[in-house]
Chains A and B, each alone.
Chain A
Amino acid sequence: MKELIDKIKLLDFGITGDELSSSAIIHEQTALKSCGFPQIPDEVLEFLKYYNGFLAEGRCIFGIDIKKHFLYDILGENVTAENPNPNDILLLGTTATTCIAWRASKQDYLLIDKSTFMVLHKFKDFKQAVKYILKIDD
């Protein structure tokens, strides 16, 4: 994770959310659970502690923003998306045409077409998914 964070630092651009607090994590995880969505994986939470969401060139990694749930917040984005499988798939980020997502049943990260929700690619791990969103060569 440190290597990825260092690479993102070099980008010198992008907007990130407020610093993440443990109460915000608990609030978000509880809300996700009550809606039937999968929980945010530990690897993602670790990233969110460095960058609580990241928005660059219209590409975005969702964060935890309990004040404005409907704007690039994990819960807000998942609630408003037309996800056909909300009990298994948790959306974690987006580009203009695709989403990155966590598939709880198989414990893997996917690249999904935003319009059809078709799986386009399986990432090795969350770091590779972040690199895709931020256009960092793998």
Chain B
Amino acid sequence: MRKRKKSNNQLRREEEAISAAFTYKLHALFQTRYREYKRNNYKSKDKGGDKKDNHACKIKKTSAQSLKNIKSELEILLAFYGVGTPHIAPPNQTPLSREQICMMDIDFEGLYITPNQESLSGPYRKAKENSLKYDIPHTASSSEYDLNQVPAWEEMKKFNSFRLMHHTICHRLSKMNYPIEKLNQLNFIDLIDIINDHNREHPEHRMPCQRSRFLKMFSVCYGAEFTEKMTLLGKEQEAKDFLSYAYYINHPAKRCPPELKYISNLFSIHHIKNRKFANELDDYAKVNDFSNLSLCMSFPHHKILHSPTEIDLNHNIVFFGGFLREFQIIRNPEKERLYLQGKLRNPSLSNGGR
């Protein structure tokens, strides 16, 4: 017997029901963990000889089992809808260093932090102080600075955002008259400080971040499909606003209208291979590549991918707008490749006439 095709309304209702079920499970998870924390705290106090807390005495001892049950229920549901499966980490992975984690973060989110000045290297600090105090003529042009001599650059250049700052870094080193022979003494914090100074002086030409670049790519490659899926979800206006928002964040010189900012809270960008497991990739720096990013509805969809266990989202899903296939967009690697080669431009990517 042939199945009857579901109407848009039916699909939407079904999606809402599934979302509500997941939200309920998340709430149950919170309640269970809350009880678990209270019980553990009560236990540790008890061991330390503290007086028993009346409230804590009432807590049932079944929370650990409940937590296990909720976890497996969520995992079964996610697998059933083809969204993803729990992550299984391979053994003997070398943990990433603090610098590598910082690089991944800055590459993805952008740089919004002032480095601790005590961590700057001696030669850099001296050159910076001198350049602020005195007007020193340049002795070397920016092209004479070879960043490959800087040990920290070896790692940094693996990331798109830092690569795009290559010229700026050399230019600023030349401007502050940093001695070329001491390039190998520059550390990671020095380079971050240079980028930070540039961002503060030229906010309209900040270091780009992968988050914004992904949103732009998504709008160009999947804008039409996105509008279609969101319309199916009954959120046509949100789709329009999101595409306009993507335009503005990629044009920092133009101010994003405040009425559009709400839209970014509806969506999250999800790392398919979680950053925690970046070292499982052939190169950890690929963790912020477009192929490892997906756009998700923030709640409950994105939340569910991270709690209670890390879920490996299906690699083919580039937009996770719902648990049903009808609300998802399947990745088109060919389109993304053409976009990266600059061969794909979408005339519809605009500010929405604002």
Contact = CB atoms under 8 A, between A and B. Distances in A.
Given A113-B105, A115-B276, A121-B116, A79 B37 contact: yes
Contact of B267 (A55, A58, A137): A58
A95 interface: yes
B101 A120 contact: yes
Nearest to B104: A97
Given A79-B33, A96-B269, A116-B276, A35 B41 contact: yes
B332 interface: no
Interface in B91-126: 95-96, 98, 101-102, 104-105, 108-110, 112-114, 116
A138 interface: yes
A12 B308 CA distance: 34
A116 B40 CA distance: 23
Nearest to B41: A36
Interface in B14-42: 26-27, 29-30, 33-34, 37-38, 40-41
A101 interface: no
A86 B41 CA distance: 10
Contacts of A122: 116
A97 B109 contact: yes
A36 to B, nearest CB: 4
Q: How large is the interface on B (under 10, 10 to 19, 20 to 34, 35 or more residues)?
A: 35 or more
A35 B113 contact: no
A123 to B, nearest CB: 9
A56 interface: yes
Contacts of B181: none
A15 interface: yes
A12 B260 CA distance: 11
A69 B30 contact: yes
A13 interface: yes
B56 interface: yes
Nearest to A138: B114
Interface string A114-138: 1110111110000010011001111
A34 B24 CA distance: 24
A95 B110 CA distance: 11
A43 interface: no
Contact of B200 (A12, A96, A116, A137): A137
A137 B109 contact: no
B258 interface: yes
Interface in B245-267: 256, 258, 261-262, 264-265, 267
A125 B53 CA distance: 34
Interface in B193-209: 199-200, 203
B4 interface: no
B335 interface: no
A118 B26 CA distance: 26
B93 to A, nearest CB: 12
B60 interface: no
Nearest to A14: B261
23 contacts: A12-B261, A13-B256, A15-B265, A31-B34, A34-B53, A35-B37, A35-B41, A58-B265, A58-B267, A70-B30, A76-B30, A80-B29, A80-B30, A80-B33, A96-B269, A113-B101, A116-B95, A116-B96, A119-B98, A120-B101, A121-B113, A121-B116, A131-B112
Given A31-B34, A120-B105, 12 more contacts: A15-B262, A15-B265, A57-B264, A58-B268, A69-B34, A96-B108, A96-B211, A96-B268, A97-B275, A120-B98, A120-B101, A121-B113
Interface of A: 12-15, 31, 34-37, 55-58, 69-71, 75-76, 79-80, 86, 95-98, 111, 113-116, 118-122, 128, 131-132, 135-138
